[in-house]
Structure 1
Amino acid sequence: MSKTAARLALLCAVVGLGASVVAVYVHYHLLYDPLYTSFCDVNATVSCTDVYKSRFSTVWGMPVAVFSAIWFVLAALLSIGGLVARPSVRESIPGYLFTLSTFALAAALYLAYVSTFILQTYCPVCLVMDAAVIGLFVISGAATSYPMTTVPRRALGDLRVLAASPLAVTVTVLFAASAASTLAFFPREAPGEGAGTAPAVSAEQQSELERFMATAPRIPLIVPNEGAKVLIVKFNDFQCPACSHSYLAYKPILAKFEAQSPGAVRMVLMDYPLNTTCNPASSMVHPAACDAAVAVRLARSRNRGEAMEEWLYTHQPSMTAASVREAARTVGGVTDFEEKYASTLALVRSDVALGNQLGIRSTPTFFINGVKVEGEMAPQYFDQAIAYELQKATTK
């Protein structure tokens, strides 16, 4: 491996490692800091938060970015070997990097597919990591001058060379120990957390959340609370992955409060489809979102609204305008969708107009007794915010 190729490979590995560390930092704070807002949340289409809170962002409860960081450290060590190792080892290193990069590129392409076609949301930090993987793949592929079928034989020979070098053995042991420790001790997302359970929060986290709720401006909304002590207004898009995730995560929490204090907490859903057909202020992010909003409203008139919502949230990857209309008939019991479409769409546009007046930029956006929360709060903080508002209303 030429030193120029090794330096370029090392540059890609360092850039990818830096992006991975940033991704781990953002993911960690989204889970454990109730007030954290990611720097790379630009709009509904470009949002690290929506990507990192999706079910695709973790493996066995561990952020994918942690595995990426470990991989880039390994790639960096091999690239350094391409600079300082003995010539026979340096010649083999491009093949090792190419093999690793091939597997990494397959994972990157899968996650890019998920981002583009399922989540329809892009993470700038993830794109940097993807670019670093592609760079390593191209550089190592161009630098490999021997048949890839000889990689296993070369690896066995190079392992014997590594075993004879105290420095190489020390570096290898340190890398393996660091990777194992990271995987063993890095905080994991609790099992079922994404399904709506609300893990306990620390006293410090609770204090921080309560300080936020006490000091945040409260925006008056023209939405009746119908006697509830806590009014939660959610601006929603039925084709938005984060809206689906928050629906599933918050459903058992809302059910818990309803069982404890019937009627004390009211959730009101407001439509804000990211679709220019009914929301000219947005872009065409979700092609079936307007039809979905209409379908839910029509299903509610037949007491099938909740079933319709559930279907939409759980069929987002394959959702089309045609499938929504078919589900409106079979799930929502709607037989006059076409006849009622125009008049119902006008009601959706009324919600959109209110959202625009309130400065809605992305979905979901919540108002908890007038306190604006952009994006999805972790379930434990949503739970605590409701409990705080209930306690506040009781002590007035």
Structure 2
Amino acid sequence: MPSWEKRVRIVLCVFGLVLSVYALHVELSREADPDYRAMCDLGESVSCSKVFTSRWGRGFGLVQLLVAKENPLNQPNSLLGLLFYTVQMGLGLSLSKKAALCLVVSSWVSVAGSLYLAFILVFVLGDFCVVCVSTYVVNFALLFTNLRRRRAIEGMKEKAP
């Protein structure tokens, strides 16, 4: 594995973790104080706190449809982000084919989630969320990085004696 790919993965995962922590901070601050104004709230239709506190900001808006709103599975999407980027960083340390496959599969899931949430952002909420869009970019970049990594690992294993 080229060292630049390792650095790219670390930078993307750390950036994703920072975005997730900030999103969680904004959501919790807004819930505690409805007058809280986040740095990413730039206007009426450019408001991340509006997005994070919407029904789609928890459990992708799907948990509430399937089970009760008070269900323990109905957690902020940012917690899922924290878990995802932590797993991405941890599995990125392994050179196994299984780890590479898990990275790719989880990245495809994150990209599907990003596309779903982008649709909700634009067509349902009519909002622009700088933090959300930044997260989508990180997820797409991680997918690209993971696909390259998987190809490289499979190539290494085939050449090994």
Taking structure 2 as the reference length, what is the TM-score of the superposition?
A: 0.79
- What is the letter of the counterpart of residue 27 of structure 2? H
Q: Is the 8 A contact 1:17 1:72 kept in 2?
A: yes
Q: Is the 8 A contact 1:21 1:65 kept in 2?
A: yes
Which has the bigger relative contact order, CA under 8 A and spacing at least 6?
2
1:6 shift after superposition: 2.0
How far apart, CA to CA, are the structure 1 residues paired with 2:138 and 2:50?
22
- What is the letter of the counterpart of residue 83 of structure 2? I
Q: Is the 8 A contact 1:102 1:137 kept in 2?
A: yes
- What is the letter of the counterpart of residue 90 of structure 1? L
Helix, strand or coil: the match of 1:144?
A: helix
Structure 2 stretches lacking a partner, 5+ long: 60-72, 155-161
**RMSD of aligned alpha carbons:** 2.2
- What is the letter of the counterpart of residue 13 of structure 1? C
- Establish whether residue 101 from structure 1 lines up as the match of residue 114 from structure 2: no
Q: Tell me what 2:76 maps to.
A: 63
Structure 1 stretches lacking a partner, 5+ long: 82-88, 149-396
1:19 shift after superposition: 0.3
- What is the letter of the counterpart of residue 70 of structure 1? L
- What is the letter of the counterpart of residue 24 of structure 1? L
Over alpha carbons, which structure has the higher Rg? Answer: 1
Which sits farther off after the overlay, 130-139 or 59-68? 59-68
Q: Which runs of 4+ in 1 moved over 4 A?
A: none
**Residues 74-101 of structure 1 deviation map (CA, whole Å, 9 limit, x = unaligned):** 111122x1xxxxxxx4153433311110
What is the aligned-residue identity percentage?
25
Q: How many residues align?
A: 141
Q: Is the 8 A contact 1:10 1:75 kept in 2?
A: no
- What is the letter of the counterpart of residue 6 of structure 1? K
- Establish whether residue 24 from structure 1 lines up as the match of residue 24 from structure 2: yes
Q: Is the 8 A contact 1:12 1:132 kept in 2?
A: yes
| 1:146/1:6 CA distance change after superposition, 3 Å | closer
Q: Is the 8 A contact 2:100 2:153 kept in 1?
A: no
How far apart, CA to CA, are the structure 2 residues paired with 1:14 and 1:38?
21
How far apart, CA to CA, are the structure 2 residues paired with 1:2 and 1:24?
34
1:3 shift after superposition: 2.8
Q: Tell me what 1:362 maps to.
A: none
More helix by share: 2
List aligned pairs for 1:1-396, cutoff 5 A: 1-59=1-59, 60-79=73-92, 81=93, 89-92=94-97, 93-145=99-151
Taking structure 1 as the reference length, what is the TM-score of the superposition?
A: 0.34
